[in-house]
Structure 1
Amino acid sequence: MNDIGILWLIFIIVTLFISYYFSKKNFFARRLLYTTFLVVNFIYLLWRTSFTLPESGVLSLVLGALLLIAEWAGFSQSIVFTILSWSPFKRKEAVITAFEELPRVDIFIATYNEPTDLLRRTITACQLLEYPQNKLNIYVCDDGDRGEVRALSSHLGVHYIRRDDNTHAKAGNLNHAMTKTNGEIIVTMDADMVPKYNFLTRTIGYFTDSDVSFVQTPQVFYNADAFQYNLFYEDRITNEQDFFMRQLEQGKDRFNATMYVGSNALFRRTSLEAIGGFATGVITEDMATGMLLQTNNQKTVFVNETLAVGLSPETYADLLKQRDRWARGNIQVARKWNPLRLKGLSFMQKLLYLDGIHYWFFGIYKLIYLLAPLLFLVFSIYSIDTDLETLVIFWLPAFLSSQFAFRRIASSKRTTFWSHVYEVALAPFMAASVLGELILKKNFNFSVTRKGVQSQNRQILWRTTFPYVLLTIFSLIAIAMVNLHLFTSIEFYQSNDMLIINIFWIFYNLLAILVSLVISVERPRFRGAERSNVEISGYLISEFGTKYKCNIVDLSESGARIELVDTISEGQLDGGSLYLEIKEIPKLKVTKQWISQQANHNYMGVSFQALSQAQYAALISILFTHSKDIYSNQTYVNASLFYVFLRFLKHSRKTPKQLERQRMREKVKLKGKLSTSKNEMPVTLLDYSLNGCQIKSKKKLRKNQRVELEVNYHTKEKVKARVMWVQKRGGTYYVGLKYIHDTIELGA
């Protein structure tokens, strides 16, 4: 390595370390870091373009060109990231008191096939909003035309809207609701999104500016996403969507380019009417609608606060379906409303929307990165032709600057290697989605992401694992060939420099590929409702009025885990009714599910019975509308890949406590009858507990279906239940049912 090259490396590395160290608090140092990052990456790409394209054959030249294009594409996205992060931006608060008279607000809760207990949670939270009730109307917009949703709406005293068809899916549903309502402000809320009590008071003040067309708040998720959950990393990494929802959306707000994300948003009705309502003809109607509402100097606002929380896709399979929909939808928007040709957008708005569409090509770029070292090591097809010394001079500063700059841009909400993991995990499927949409232009059915998923067993997504298994096999073949080349007389490679370069990338990629394999192993989900850790004191009350002091440790709307403070034997809790009393909620009737001793403390699991709506609303207030914001400060903590594999192996071998408790079931073999909304069928009851049972049937049932079970044992009283899982063995269906303990009478 020549002296100039050494001095260049020393200068850049020292500059990067100094600017990164001071950039957290010093504005000038941060800009110096970002500038250095862009300059050294631009220099690296100029060198790559001018001197490194292989000339050893047509295949090598094509692959080299594709790799170079992928690198330039990544750099273009880096420029946009840097622009969004160049100047910190936060909206000045707009107070609701600026209105002389508050506007009428219509809340649209769009639903198609979501479980009614999920809808009940959202509706109840909307009823707890701080806003004059005579100015607020809640509409359940049911595109599934379900009797149980109509009954739920009637019971809770909110409006119910249905239509005769499902034209244009969610966008058509919302547009139809607009024709039935007249509020000045329209709020769109997904069926799983639960607003905080101050959702309206913190957002509606921005509409005092007559040019504001919509206000967006971030989608924040209270459950672990598929990456967090399947990797047993709930406490170490953030939700994969947090970086976009909090960092990028805030940066876009500076350029009046906030993206509408489908929920948690408020619209001026007249602005929507001016563009013909919510955009139709594309899957991602939200992105298109927001873009159209930003034309002709209309203003949009992003309020970067946790003002609503909801459910992210609960399985990896559902996450892939969601991202497939987003990828194809963005291509459709570009085809119908190309940002470059859309009149009324500023230069920065066009750039940011174009970058958002371009982002979904990452799957193609990442596959090129994954295949390039494999093709060299296995088939001797070059993608780059240089020597190691020159590569280090140009590539190492670019690589290090990317690590430092991204870490500062992401503010510990993301790391470069975890971004690599996410992209590798999604790459094969997103590449197929984008290429399929570009080439086939096929009309796909709109699919709603499943909510409230429960499963009893660990599942390997074999179809999903196929590309990762294939990549792993080729990586192992490549490593074997490298070992033969290095430690035997067999020679596969002419250039040792190129060998070292590709060995680095093969191991770098293989780590992410192996993590993707782990993600494809779905953990069981036993609970229908997420539990929240709480610290609430209360009393457990026996049927005879005896009070036992206790602490509620975790809580959901269906049950709780409590610590028994007073000395008590399990026998004292058997027989008769039990009640739980806490300050915020009147006496709750509960059923004991289990009791255990852990480290000299007695713990008990209880399920709630026959909740009144007042009790249910109080629970929702504690859990959601008035709960602390524990989501905004989550960061990547000790999130090394070593611990990914260690925790996966360690926890996968354990029997979860939830499963141990659910196994406390009585085995039986009783004949019975199951009733659905359409027919009746004979079934056999195989086991039961206080929460649910398992049956077998010759006829198929679907998940989340409501049923009534009648068993020929002591009494023929019908029990309401919901189908949680279905497994087919031969010609027989085995079905898991969860009993519905509810005060609301709903249709099957």
Structure 2
Amino acid sequence: MYSDLVTFRMLLVALVFGLLILPYLDRRQDRHRELVTLFAAFMGFRYLIWRLFETVLPFDGPTIEVVWVYIVYIVEVLAFVEISIFLLIMSKTNSRHKEADLYQASQTEFPSVDVFIPTYNEEIDVLEKTIIGAKNLDYPDFKVWVLDDGKREWLKGFCKAHNVNYLTREDNSHAKAGNLNNGLKHASGELFAIFDADFVPLSDYLKRTTGFFVNNPDVGLVQTPQHFYNRDPIQSNLYLDKLLPDEQRLFFDVMAPCRDRWDAAFCCGSCSITRRKAVDEIGGIPTSSITEDLLTTLSLLKAGYKTIYLNEKLSHGMSADSLEGYFVQRSRWCRGGIQCLLLPEGPLRAKGLSPLQRILFAPYSWIIQPITKLMLLIVPIVYLLIGLSPLQLTTTQELISYQFPMFFAFTISMWWLARKRYIPIISTASNIFSMFWIFPVVVSSLIKPFGKPFMVTPKGSGAKVGVDWYIIVSSLILILLTITGVFINQVPELCIIEYTDFFPYALFWSTFNIIFLFMCILLAVDTPRKRKEERFRVNEITKFEGFTVVVSDVSVGGCRVIHSQKRRIIETGEMSEISIPGISEPFQVEVKNSSDHSVMLKFVDTPIPLREQLITKLFTGHYDNSIYETGNWSGIFWKLWNRAFGKEIT
């Protein structure tokens, strides 16, 4: 009885902490955050110490087994380093809402601002919204500059028609960084804001951010979060577009405010505003890396300026909406982070950075995560097919005493810190999914970090919907190897390994790996985009066909109205018109579908001024179709089940 209590003691401690203490803690309080992160770090450190002195150093077996034990342990240490840095970041947080409110309420000085929209090959369906949104900013002194490295005449004409500045250059040297530097040569504003071609600023963006520069001469850059009005491949390919936050919500909503608390906020390429004088002092936008945003941040910090983060939705744009775009984007981030690490002005060698800033700006996550996820898949296969165990001199009781509490502590801490933006199974599956492409990028970048050109993320009509056969075939091979290993060791005549306390654990591990890999296969097939334009929920009252109706959602291409007549109020195929609140004139519409409670309408031959009003209304106001928290677990389960075995989503 006593030995059982000893075995379960730390697991019970973790359960008590998670069930009886954690629900009563306040995420806004740094002391509470420190308690949670220290608890998780302690459980992890306790496990590693036990592993080292009880299962690694004492083990004396064949050389290949000893080497394998050390390799697995080193990877565990790397994983703990990554988690520890994450916990350190998350142990404090910061909010600048009140500061922004104060500055906006008292602001009498409005520095001039240049709004840069760098572009290369984006289509009109993407650029139109950004340009119209930027020209309709609510601010007394700003200029919009479209910086076109694609040298497109149609875009030049579009900019002229909308009274915004258009710039191009003779060559495209240094990609986006060079494009921005060319813009700086022609512009003269005290500040400059950057919005990628697919990001639309809300009307109050400049009023919410410029006060930080007016009141703090040492502020060099203000970054705001990137929100998305469409769904990323993780959401759409798992049919979780209404139940799962986009993949970057964890970073922008949770991690970035914490980094700000540690003076480690950084420019994310778009939705930022920068002091011109500060950039001039560092010699312009740095061009040494394909992630010019991170390098700009480091250069500003080195020069003594602060980079801060305002966690308010002040813009929204398009996430990568295809597998191609998803991996082009993340491969660029990974390679650029490694490039920065190796540069003289990078986090390791740049002067003027604190030791903590050097740690927090290192691309440790990009390097460590693919390695740990690959080992997660390989370890059970090596054990079942070759017989090399990752854990030696270990009993089930010891796993329950040391490893289980660690996993539980990490899970509940992450759940509490992430505020419903994290689901362990889906997060692990998406990280494994990314690993297939990111791991080769890590290896190639460490061998040859420079020389690969900047790749623009394809989005909108420029993105290709497809199937990633590399991931599908790789996943199927790993599933087959895992199942083969399990099967062989169930047959006495074929058995490779002797039954040990680790064998049931290996079966459990293998089962989860098969689930993860199966989800990777689902993720590797792009679901067709059903709509050309994204809908925004508005729920506004208007008149249609003589009846009072509710406009439930609107896109640039049409709208849906709900009525209470319990009969069709118009037939499919008929033409009519409808007034949208806030738009000066009614829209001509074609009825695409009509039922006894709703009507689907398509806008027909919309005049350009009316279309511009609609874009301004939808994209620069505060309409929001983002998902901020995970839905209920049962809903997520049935959506995943339907994705795997049910009908195609409609």
TM-score band by shorter chain is over 0.9
Q: Report what 1:582 is aligned to.
A: 580
Aligned equivalents of 2:138 and 2:280: distance in 1?
27
3-state DSSP class of the match of 1:534?
strand
Aligned equivalents of 1:260 and 1:26: distance in 2?
24
- Superposition deviation, residue 40 in structure 1: 1.8
Counterparts in 2 of 1:562 and 1:439: CA distance versus 1, 3 Å = same
Q: Does 1:491 align with 2:495?
A: yes
Counterpart code for 1:511: I
Superposed counterparts of 1:410-429, under 5 Å: 410-429=418-437
Q: Larger relative contact order (C-alpha < 8 A, sep ≥ 6)?
A: 2
Aligned equivalents of 1:412 and 1:653: distance in 2?
27
TM-score w.r.t. structure 2 length? 0.92
CA contact (8 A) 1:593 1:607 kept: no
Q: Report what 2:212 is aligned to.
A: 206
Superposed counterparts of 1:104-183, under 5 Å: 104-132=112-140, 135-183=141-189
Q: Report what 1:79 is aligned to.
A: 84
Counterparts in 2 of 1:42 and 1:357: CA distance versus 1, 3 Å = closer
- Superposition deviation, residue 139 in structure 1: 0.4
Counterparts in 2 of 1:79 and 1:565: CA distance versus 1, 3 Å = same
- Superposition deviation, residue 393 in structure 1: 1.3
Aligned equivalents of 1:525 and 1:639: distance in 2?
25
Equivalent pairs counted in the alignment come to 638
3-state DSSP class of the match of 1:240?
coil
3-state DSSP class of the match of 1:361?
helix
CA contact (8 A) 1:318 1:449 kept: yes
Aligned equivalents of 1:526 and 1:365: distance in 2?
36
Counterpart code for 2:94: F
Superposed counterparts of 1:532-571, under 5 Å: 532-540=536-544, 547=546, 549-563=548-562
Counterparts in 2 of 1:47 and 1:371: CA distance versus 1, 3 Å = same
Q: Report what 1:605 is aligned to.
A: 601
Aligned equivalents of 1:484 and 1:80: distance in 2?
44
Counterpart code for 1:62: V
Q: Deviations over 1:200-242 (max 9, x none)?
A: 1111100021100000001111111101101110122110111
**Counterpart selection for 1:21 from 20, 23, 29:** 23
**Counterpart selection for 1:295 from 297, 302, 308:** 302
Q: Report what 1:65 is aligned to.
A: 70
3-state DSSP class of the match of 1:93?
helix
Q: Deviations over 1:69-88 (max 9, x none)?
A: 22212212222222222233
Counterparts in 2 of 1:610 and 1:236: CA distance versus 1, 3 Å = closer
- Superposition deviation, residue 584 in structure 1: 1.3
**Counterpart selection for 1:306 from 285, 309, 313:** 313
Superposed counterparts of 1:197-236, under 5 Å: 197-208=203-214, 209-236=216-243
Q: Does 1:434 align with 2:451?
A: no
Q: Deviations over 1:608-627 (max 9, x none)?
A: 313232x2232123312222
Q: Deviations over 1:494-548 (max 9, x none)?
A: 242121221121112221111111011111113221112221233447xxxxx56
- Superposition deviation, residue 29 in structure 1: 5.5
Aligned equivalents of 2:193 and 2:648: distance in 1?
46
- Superposition deviation, residue 480 in structure 1: 1.6
Superposed counterparts of 1:215-364, under 5 Å: 215-336=222-343, 337-354=345-362, 356-364=363-371
**Counterpart selection for 2:7 from 5, 8, 14:** 5
3-state DSSP class of the match of 2:240?
coil
- Superposition deviation, residue 639 in structure 1: 6.8
Aligned equivalents of 1:110 and 1:126: distance in 2?
13
- Superposition deviation, residue 580 in structure 1: 2.1
Counterparts in 2 of 1:419 and 1:564: CA distance versus 1, 3 Å = closer
Counterpart code for 1:645: L
- Superposition deviation, residue 405 in structure 1: 1.0
3-state DSSP class of the match of 2:147?
strand
Q: Deviations over 1:457-487 (max 9, x none)?
A: x8432123222111111122123224325xx
Counterparts in 2 of 1:204 and 1:225: CA distance versus 1, 3 Å = same
Q: Report what 1:595 is aligned to.
A: 593
Q: Deviations over 1:371-427 (max 9, x none)?
A: 011110122122221222222211111111111111111111113333212211111
CA contact (8 A) 2:536 2:554 kept: yes
Q: Does 1:624 align with 2:619?
A: yes
- Superposition deviation, residue 23 in structure 1: 2.4
Aligned equivalents of 1:417 and 1:465: distance in 2?
19
- Superposition deviation, residue 636 in structure 1: 4.7
3-state DSSP class of the match of 2:593?
strand
Aligned equivalents of 1:267 and 1:42: distance in 2?
41
Aligned equivalents of 2:324 and 2:48: distance in 1?
37
Q: Report what 1:465 is aligned to.
A: 472
Aligned equivalents of 2:72 and 2:636: distance in 1?
26
Q: Does 1:45 align with 2:9?
A: no
Counterpart code for 1:601: H
Counterparts in 2 of 1:496 and 1:453: CA distance versus 1, 3 Å = farther
CA contact (8 A) 2:118 2:146 kept: yes
Counterpart code for 1:42: F
Contiguous gaps of at least 5 residues in structure 1: 542-546, 657-748
More strand, by proportion: 1
**Counterpart selection for 1:507 from 507, 511, 515:** 511
Aligned equivalents of 2:198 and 2:127: distance in 1?
7
3-state DSSP class of the match of 1:202?
helix
3-state DSSP class of the match of 1:494?
coil
Contiguous gaps of at least 5 residues in structure 2: none
Aligned equivalents of 2:190 and 2:319: distance in 1?
30
3-state DSSP class of the match of 2:460?
coil
- Superposition deviation, residue 291 in structure 1: 1.6
Bigger-Rg structure (1/2): 1
Aligned equivalents of 1:254 and 1:616: distance in 2?
42
Aligned equivalents of 1:415 and 1:194: distance in 2?
29
3-state DSSP class of the match of 2:321?
coil
3-state DSSP class of the match of 2:603?
strand
CA contact (8 A) 1:585 1:619 kept: yes
Aligned equivalents of 1:532 and 1:31: distance in 2?
39
CA contact (8 A) 1:218 1:245 kept: yes
Counterparts in 2 of 1:395 and 1:571: CA distance versus 1, 3 Å = closer
3-state DSSP class of the match of 2:537?
strand
- Superposition deviation, residue 98 in structure 1: 4.7
- Greater shift, 10-19 or 435-444, is seen at 10-19
CA contact (8 A) 1:261 1:287 kept: yes
**Counterpart selection for 1:643 from 632, 638, 642:** 638
- Superposition deviation, residue 137 in structure 1: 0.3
Counterpart code for 1:643: W
- Superposition deviation, residue 284 in structure 1: 1.0
CA contact (8 A) 1:19 1:29 kept: no
TM-score w.r.t. structure 1 length? 0.80
- Superposition deviation, residue 48 in structure 1: 1.2
More helix, by proportion: 2
Q: Report what 1:192 is aligned to.
A: 198
Q: Report what 1:712 is aligned to.
A: none
3-state DSSP class of the match of 1:622?
helix
Q: Report what 1:475 is aligned to.
A: 482
3-state DSSP class of the match of 2:195?
strand
- Superposition deviation, residue 493 in structure 1: 1.6
Counterparts in 2 of 1:645 and 1:6: CA distance versus 1, 3 Å = closer
- Greater shift, 81-90 or 256-265, is seen at 81-90
CA contact (8 A) 1:125 1:617 kept: no
Counterpart code for 1:136: F
Counterpart code for 2:190: E
Counterpart code for 2:171: D
